[in-house]
Chains A and B, each alone.
Chain A
């Protein structure tokens, strides 16, 4: 059962045959693509040692199904909920979705909605360095979630997806594919959780596609065990006048490589890319982003907040690319590092490539400690220094949460942050 991941996987029963053929090709691509080195710009500063995947094995079916389902609690009210564990669907809630909405594991979507699936499943190449790991994901993906919201459909309550890993050195391949039809609206919260404190591998993809006028809020609550090696590869496509707000929170994971690529391909498209990263111990969060402005008069706004304690590391490498035709672009990119320890290691590479003169474009990177004045103010009022520090860090993250429109969601995330920091 527990075979190493370095061997060619045996075809899974649930996938249609045409897909297993793609998986075989993907595994060959994985094997033929060299492991990255630090000399490659996309892996500059990265901890290459973390890329040794040889200890990890195929995940067995989950043993504590009931416990995981019970622990899959998020917002009080949702329009639907999926719980997946070790690459298989465990549970679903909410069947009365509006007409035409599809919410299914990938295998059944590939069988029942083949055209839609083929059109959007990993349709865009992974360009930010992890091509090898995207191929690895494709070769082994199972379970996952496919959400399709038809045109002019609004889901007022969020959809929640829980993706669990269980077992020592188990490997999971979470996949969330969201397709929003014209003028549709939806909010999705994607939770990544570990059943135990054991080492594990997560190699996930989350692709978002927004047709014209669609509005999507996507929140990833990454809460893997501190021993987990994780890849989260994202590709977002935004058509004209659509608005995508994506927030990635990295609460867990020992080594996390995140790649977020947002393509603004329609006029008036808007992409907000946010990230909250409280890191401590020896955790490393390596994030690469691209805001690719293809269409004119689109807006992108990136804000990544890192708070680094102990010997933790962060890498932020972002690029705003304004293509020759993208006149009237409005693009912003900012990374802020709050340094809580002398041994923390923040690396920032905020980049710009501008090929059109009619743009408003700026980026910034700041590094600094907790403000001594703020700390003094609070300790003078009898708040212990530790508590004061925690409040300041949470306040730092809260400034970003306030950018979310949905106040219930905002409060829920703040609560998760507070629970975590205690």
Chain B
């Protein structure tokens, strides 16, 4: 079968840009002054100011991880990035209060409508700060806290300080250090013991400004026996220059708690998306990352779960779609640190044109543990002759009462499938699209209904160019 096909993904929904007047602007470049500016605007307590400055020192001293990661990282010019842009640090509780120029962006993205339909709470971040943040009264009455990181820090310092930076230390990697230095925005969530939040909480991250760096910081604590589902969506307009998104997300699931964290990343193709995500699962707790990476120029993201308590469970479900010129470098980390912990990683990637998808995984089982199990499956689909896929797992499973298995396969769309469908009058483009959707279908099913519909639409590949 001829594979000179050109599949395009619909990224037009997020590709628009409005001019906005920013009240606070830290300028371009990064120095101690930038940090002082951010601290002053956000009225950070002294320990945070010190925390940020320490992180900046770490960031400056750490080398780029190019000994294993893509050399494309060298193209990030940290001096040209704007590290803080906002119209004020406190989000509005009502869409009516959100400034018109920001509101129209979210309306065009359909956020207020989705909130009315099926969400328990929404936070909408515009560049550095949340423009809007609200949860339904019924959920708030149960004691659920869902605010931005700035507000969380100011209003709930006792919970915030206890967990902040504990799951992902500042020096974990160069980009977590960068985030720790200049973080702004993101969500702070606390679910009290036994509370099961029925509907998802959603955050929406929007980059609007050119040459901007978004560094949100999310901290979710699910107290004993509680349950929560959190969803985040990301978009940015397409600029000529590169944009940096470097978030840190920390999850804590206390005994018996369940956290599901869902990401649909659809950044435009000029965004470097370098994100550190990790959760700690205590006894019988469960953390599940559902991760879908469609956009960006380079994504490096390896959600992790540290299974600290007996019978804890970690799961990563990952879909990556690397279009022409994109590199999706994604994966998972599973650290088993207690008996009878189980983890599961299922990763599916699709590379189109000269797109490159990479799976990087880490599975560790400590010695003298019993009954730990890991299962890893990685499947890659290559659409064109020059598409590329890589798999780099690292597995250390000690102890004779533990088991793990890792499998990976690489394939292309079967010519028979396409032929079969074409015989029945389905166009080649539609047949390819169906085959791709079929490849990821079992994973898409794991997303909430509303998201799986959206995902299918995103992966609804349109074929352009000739066949032959």
Contact between A357 and B398, CB atoms less than 8 A apart: no
Q: Is the CB of B400 within 8 A of A369?
A: yes
Q: How far is the CB of A332 from chain B (nearest CB, A)?
A: 10
- B77: which A residues are within 8 A, CB to CB? none
Interface 1/0 per residue, A194-219 and B, CB below 8 Å: 00000000000000000000000000
Name the prevailing secondary structure of the B interface residues: strand
A41→B67 contact, CB < 8 A: yes
Chain B nearest CB: distance from A290 CB in Å?
Answer: 13
Contact assessment for A357 and B406 in the assembled complex, using a CB-CB cutoff below 8 Å: no
Taken residue by residue from 384 to 428, chain B's Cβ proximity to chain A (1 for < 8 Å, 0 otherwise) reads as: 111111111111111111111111111110000000000000000
**Bound state CA distance, A358 and B412, in angstroms?**
7
Interface assignment of B35: CB less than 8 Å from any CB of chain A: no
The stretch of A222-230, A259-267, A346-354, A414-422 that contacts the partner chain: A346-354
Q: Which residue of B lies closest to A359 (CB)?
A: B410
A362 to B384, CA, bound (A): 19
Please determine whether B393 and A350 come into contact, CB atoms closer than 8 angstroms: yes
Interface residues of B in 365-386 (CB under 8 A from A): 367-368, 380, 382-386
B3 within 8 A of A: yes
Taking a contact as CB atoms under 8 Å apart, the answer to whether A339 and B391 are in contact is no
Q: Give chain A residues whose Cβ lies under 8 Å from the Cβ of B399.
A: 339, 342
B residues 68-105 touching A (CB-CB < 8 Å): 68
Residue of A nearest to B65 (CB): A39
- Residues of A near B407 (CB, < 8 A) are 362-364
- A369 vs B373: C-alpha distance when bound (angstroms): 12
Mark each residue of chain A from 68 to 83: 1 if its CB lies under 8 Å from any CB of chain B, else 0: 0000000000000000
| A366, CB-defined interface residue at 8 Å | yes
- Which residues from chain A contact B410 at a C-beta distance below 8 Å? 352, 354, 359-362
Q: Which residue of A lies closest to B358 (CB)?
A: A353
The reply on A404 being an interface residue by CB < 8 A is no
A41 near B68 (CB under 8 angstroms)? yes
Residues of the B chain whose Cβ atoms lie less than 8 Å from the Cβ of A39: 67
- Of A41, A345, A350, A367, the contact of B403 (CB 8 Å cutoff): A367
Closest-CB distance, B352 to chain A (whole angstroms):
10
The answer to the question of A13 belonging to the interface, with a C-beta cut-off of 8 Å to chain B, is: no
Mark out the residues of chain B between 26 and 73 whose CB falls within 8 Å of any chain A CB in the assembled complex: 67-68
The interface size bin for chain A is: 35 or more
In residues 39-72 of chain A, which contact B (Cβ within 8 Å)?
39-41, 44-45
CB distance from B9 to the nearest CB of A (A): 18
- The interface residues of chain A lying within 8 Å CB-to-CB of B382 are 354, 356-357, 359
In the complex, whether A93 has a CB less than 8 A from a CB of chain B is no
C-alpha gap A353/B386 in the complex (Å): 12
Nearest Cβ in chain B — how far from A392, in angstroms?
Answer: 13
The number of residues on chain B lying at the interface, defined by a beta carbon within 8 Å of a beta carbon of chain A, is 37
In the complex the two chains form, what is the Cα distance from A135 to B327 in whole Å?
36
A interface secondary structure, majority = strand
Q: Which residues of A contact B385 (CB under 8 A)?
A: 324, 327, 356-358
Q: B213 to nearest A CB, angstroms?
A: 27
In contact, A349 and B394 (Cβ under 8 angstroms): yes
Chain B residues with Cβ below 8 Å from A353 are 388-390
A354-B393 in contact (CB<8A): no
For B393, list chain A residues within 8 Å (CB). 348-351, 365
Report A-chain residues with C-beta under 8 Å of the C-beta of B397: 337, 339, 346, 367
Contacts of B392 in A (CB 8 A): 349, 351-352
Q: Are B409 and A362 in contact (CB under 8 A)?
A: yes
Give the shortest distance, in Å, between B370 (CB) and chain A (any CB): 9
Q: When the two chains form their complex, are residues A367 and B395 in contact, meaning their CB atoms are under 8 A apart?
A: yes
Asked, given contacts A349-B394, A367-B405, whether A354 binds B380 with beta carbons under 8 Å apart, the answer is yes
A345 to B407, CA, bound (A): 20
User: Is residue A378 within 8 Å, beta carbon to beta carbon, of the partner chain?
Assistant: no
The answer to whether B400 and A341 touch across the interface, beta carbons within 8 angstroms, is yes
* Contact assessment for A357 and B405 in the assembled complex, using a CB-CB cutoff below 8 Å: no
Contact flags A299-342 to B (C-beta < 8 A → 1, else 0): 00000000000000000000000001001000000000101111
**When chains A and B are docked, how far (Å) is the Cα of A41 from the Cα of B399?**
25
B398 touching A352 by the CB < 8 A rule? Answer: no
Q: Is A374 an interface residue (CB 8 A)?
A: no
Determine the residue in chain A with the shortest Cβ distance to B382: A357
Cβ B367 vs Cβ A343 within 8 A = yes
| Distance between A209 CB and nearest chain B CB, rounded to angstroms | 29
A157 at the interface (CB under 8 A from B): no
> Would B398 and A366 count as touching, CB distance under 8 A?
no
The minimal Cβ–Cβ distance linking A55 to chain B, given in whole angstroms, is 29
Chain A residues with CB under 8 Å of B390's CB are 351-354
Most buried by A among B368, B404, B408: B408
Q: Are A342 and B400 closer than 8 Å at their CB atoms?
A: yes
- A352 and B407 CA atoms in complex are apart in Å by 11
Q: Cβ of A368 < 8 Å from any Cβ of B?
A: yes
A22 proximal to B (CB < 8 A): no
Smallest distance from the beta carbon of A36 to chain B beta carbons, Å?
12
List which B124-182 residues lie within 8 A (CB) of chain A.
none
CB contacts (< 8 Å) of A370 on chain B: these are: 400
- Give Cα A352 to B408, complex, Å: 9
Task: Verify B367–A342 contact, CB threshold 8 A.
Answer: yes
Task: Check if A357 sits within 8 Å of B384, measured CB to CB.
Answer: yes
- Minimal Cβ-Cβ distance residue in B for A41: B68
What's the minimum C-beta distance from B389 to chain A, rounded to whole angstroms?
5
Contacts of A362 in B (CB 8 A): 407-410
Instruction: Find residues 83-126 in chain A having any chain B CB closer than 8 Å to their own CB.
Output: none
Instruction: Given A346-B397, A350-B408, output 12 extra A-B contacts at Cβ < 8 Å.
Output: A339-B397, A339-B398, A346-B398, A347-B396, A349-B392, A350-B406, A357-B383, A358-B3, A364-B407, A364-B408, A365-B406, A367-B403
* 26 contacting pairs across A/B (C-beta < 8 A): A40-B67, A41-B68, A339-B400, A342-B398, A342-B400, A343-B398, A345-B367, A346-B397, A349-B395, A351-B392, A352-B380, A352-B391, A353-B388, A353-B389, A354-B380, A354-B390, A355-B388, A357-B383, A357-B384, A358-B385, A364-B408, A365-B404, A365-B406, A368-B404, A369-B400, A369-B401
Q: Which residues of B contact A (CB under 8 A)?
A: 3, 67-68, 367-368, 380, 382-412
The 3 A-B pairs at the shortest CB distance, nearest first, are namely A357-B382, A352-B391, A367-B397
